């Protein structure tokens, strides 16, 4: 896929137009702002440290290269010319080359508007192009994300008890699978 390629346009529940597309180099500052805003709010995601611009640029450069080689699908959701969400799957290697591990982040103020659901549906559709089964690992405390994953057909397939230590508490990791995207 190419950088900046538009995959879908839709209206969120609040009526705003959302453009779902692949990232491009010009998104580096929006993407850094997005992830750092989630770190600040202590969102229930795996990332807990803010990124510098250099770190975000390095990450985006790797993503763009993998995107071009069809080794990864990365999407951004844009509202009013601002990136408000990012999601994708990276194809695992070796004995897991048939697996695409999904991750998704959505800026506060844009959740519960159907954006996450549309992103997930698009990722699932595109998984067939890559010939992969998509899975997701999620913190058990992230009920909102779990709800979205279940809504699009994922089910809990395993739990790793007390895997993550966050703010002094141990949190289980839930592994979710989707059977109808199998090879």
Q: How far is CA 74 from the centre of its chain?
A: 8
95 confidence band (pLDDT: 50, 70, 90): confident
Please check whether residue 20 lies inside any domain of the structure. Answer: yes
**What would the pLDDT profile of 139-162 be if each residue is shown by its tens digit?**
999 999 999 999 999 999 999 999
**Which CATH number belongs to the domain containing residue 71 in this structure?**
3.40.630.30
pLDDT greater than 90 at residue 78: yes
Q: Label the pairing between strands 155-166 and 169-177.
A: antiparallel
Give the model confidence (pLDDT) of 63-76 as tens digits: 999 999 888 899 99
Token output for 71: 């080794």
Confidence of residue 132 (pLDDT cuts 50, 70, 90): confident
Determine, yes or no, domain membership for 105. yes
Q: Is residue 113 in a domain?
A: yes
Q: Are 16 and 5 in contact (CB under 8 A)?
A: no
Extended strands (E) in 29-98? 72-79, 82-91
Could you report the per-residue pLDDT of 97-121, keeping only the tens digit for each? 788 888 899 999 999 999 999 999 9
d(CA 21, CA 53): 22
Element (H, E) at 96: none
Residue 43 lies in a domain: yes
DSSP letters for 152-180: TT-EEEEEEEEEEEETTEEEEEEEEE-GG
Nearest Cα neighbor of 63 from 37, 98, 89 is: 89
- Model pLDDT, residue 55: 97
Tell the residue number behind the tokens 């699009």, with chain if given.
152
Question: What is the per-residue pLDDT across 41-63, written as a single tens digit (0 to 9) for each?
Answer: 988 888 889 999 999 999 999 99
Q: Is the pTM higher than 0.85?
A: yes
Number of domains, the chain? 1
Is 1 inside a domain boundary?
A: no
93 alpha carbon, distance to own chain's centre:
19
Q: Examine the pLDDT at 135 and tell me if it is beyond 70.
A: yes
Query: Token digits for 18?
Result: 């959302």
Residue 64 lies in a domain: yes
Using DSSP's 3-state secondary structure scheme, residue 122 falls into helix
87 lies in some domain? yes
152, two tokens: 């699009």
Spatial CA neighbour of 20 closest among 114, 122, 105: 122
Q: Kindly report the number of other CB atoms within 10 A of residue 168's CB atom.
A: 5
Which pLDDT score is estimated for 152? 93
The parent domain of residue 87 ranges over 6-181
């Amino acid at each position: 896929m190419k950088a900046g390629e538009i995959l879908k346009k839709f209206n969120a529940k609040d009526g705003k137009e959302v453009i779902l597309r692949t990232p491009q180099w010009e998104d580096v500052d929006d993407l850094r702002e997005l992830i750092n805003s989630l770190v600040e709010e202590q969102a229930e995601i795996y990332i807990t440290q803010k990124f510098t611009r250099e770190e975000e640029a390095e990450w985006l450069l790797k993503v763009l290269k993998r995107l071009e080689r069809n080794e990864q699908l990365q999407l951004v959701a844009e509202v009013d010319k601002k990136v408000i969400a990012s999601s994708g799957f990276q194809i695992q290697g070796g004995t897991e080359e048939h697996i695409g591990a999904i991750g998704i982040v959505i800026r506060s103020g844009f959740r519960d508007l159907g954006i996450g659901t549309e992103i997930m549906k698009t990722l699932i559709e595109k998984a067939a192009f890559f010939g992969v089964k998509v899975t997701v690992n999620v913190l058990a405390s992230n009920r909102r994300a779990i709800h979205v994953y279940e809504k699009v057909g994922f089910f809990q397939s395993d739990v790793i008890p007390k895997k993550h230590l966050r703010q002094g508490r141990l949190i289980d990791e839930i592994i979710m699978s989707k059977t109808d995207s199998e090879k």
